Structure 1
């Protein structure tokens, strides 16, 4: 399985980046973080979302199961999330792509592309922390799938 975290904005070195690096280092699957830096932003939120959508969708690996992080998405338990990944693997997906939008949210075009719209609760999270949470949950899903003792019910 190949995992891509595709996000708007650049992360600075610091504790959040250290955590992402740690979880992805533990993960035996090939993984990458693709950061999309948006220079010269359009004046309106809708225009920004559409320009970001073009770049996010262009960064998707071919044939990936697409997970969009959105506060209106579905909240899953860690076991249900691991089962979803398992189902995608059985269905023949060899790549997962997680999309994290910009401050204005995501274009409907991006949400429509999703195989899963996932929420980490109804709270709004800083986008840099969402990256950490995605990396940790992917590692947790791997640990559940493989019987590793990291996850405890």
Structure 2
């Protein structure tokens, strides 16, 4: 099984890097895990909607360049479906059972994801209606993917 995050922007904060590295280490017994960062476009202050759409489109092209046809793609989107940890774990298990060995999660930049990225996604999921920094979302997603593996294993970690 291969788990990949395609994310916009670089992670600068050491505490986020350390947390993600810990979950990556824990996940290594279940899957190959990697994060691919794509360059974020600077957004000028007071950008028009047309400028923001153009920025999202550029970032979207960069994201799609990192996604192969045989990958099952989850796009993180504020209006996506919300799952419990148990339902998320079941989805991951079902994907593995039915031949999806490459699962990719996409986290957009500060403006969100371009429509073409959302269209490519097999699923759009949300971690709630709160807006979170994408750096924090990487850590939260890392933990939830690890939790899904632990739930599927029947581990007491989830309790």
Residue 126 of structure 1 corresponds to 133
Distance 2:35 2:68 in 1: 12
CA distance in 2, matches of 1:40, 1:79: 38
* Paired residue total: 152
Unaligned ranges ≥5, structure 2: none
Distance in 1, Cα, partners of 2:92 & 2:15: 27
Which of 31, 34, 38 is residue 33 of structure 2 equivalent to?
31
> How far apart are residue 62 of structure 1 and its match?
4.1
Shift, 1:41, TM fit: 6.3
Matched residue of 2:6: which SS? strand
> Aligned pair 1:78/2:85, yes or no?
yes
Contact 1:69 1:117 in 2 (8 A): yes
TM-score (norm: length of structure 2): 0.90
User: Which residue does the alignment assign to 1:21?
Assistant: 21
Aligned equivalents of 2:87 and 2:120: distance in 1? 21
Distance in 1 between the 2:5 and 2:32 partners?
11
What residue ranges of structure 1 are gaps of 5+ in the alignment? Answer: none
Residue 69 (structure 1) aligned to one of 68, 71, 76: 76
C-alpha distance after superposition, 1:93-127 (max 9, x if no partner): 11110000111111111111111111011110111
Structure 1 runs of 4+ with >2 Å offset: 38-43
**Does the residue aligned with 1:150 lie in a helix, a strand or coil?**
helix
Match of 1:146 in 2: 153
SS of the aligned residue for 1:112 comes to helix
Task: Give the root-mean-square deviation of aligned CA atoms.
Answer: 1.5
- Matched with 2:124 is 117
Cα distance in structure 1, aligned partners of 2:68 and 2:2: 9
CA contact (8 A) 1:61 1:97 kept: no
